[in-house]
Amino acid sequence: MRVVRWVAAFLAIALVPVLTAAPAATSPRGGELDGFTIGHLPDQIDDRTSVSDFEYEWGGVSFSSRVWERTLEGGGARVVLQVLVMRGAGITDLAAVRDFLAEYHERAPDWELTEFHNDGHTALHGETEAFWTPAEGVAVEVRDAFGLIGQEELLATARGIRAGDSG
């Protein structure tokens, strides 16, 4: 019996660092994304939500995107939340980002947005998106394309994103 306890104790000690050192990209709770830390996610992001990272370019801007999805009954999936880090020479200020995102998301010229403050930066938000420019050439956007998390959690998620050393 003493050997069994010793083996169990050894396995517990050996496995704790392995089980607690999972990379952030596989955690549904946020983590690092292209130089930014996602520190808050809404309660709708849970163990029934899958997370994937994507990188792509559009309109001279490179995107690093993290997407949380929930599987639908009968097949398919619905995006619950997206966080996008955009980098490009055309991202010069908040107005340029607004113009770029209006084209990217196919918004009308009278796209209604409200100003808010995010970690010392002026930012904009609509019903389903919030974005800001933490530095020239960089923008961050949080999207709730289907209105599943609500504006309060959208803004809490945006305010929970912080630049790291390379942000």
Per-residue pLDDT tens digits for 38-82: 999 999 999 889 999 999 999 999 999 999 999 999 999 999 999
Report CA torsion sign: 119, 123, 131, 112: positive
Residue 25: is its pLDDT beyond 90?
A: no
* Residue extents of the structural domains in the chain: 24-163
- What DSSP line would sit under 87-134, residue for residue? E-TT--SHHHHHHHHHHHTT--TT---EEEEETTEEEEE-SSEEEEEE
Report CA torsion sign: 106, 111, 115, 116: negative
- What DSSP line would sit under 64-88, residue for residue? EEEEEEEEPTTS-EEEEEEEEEEE-
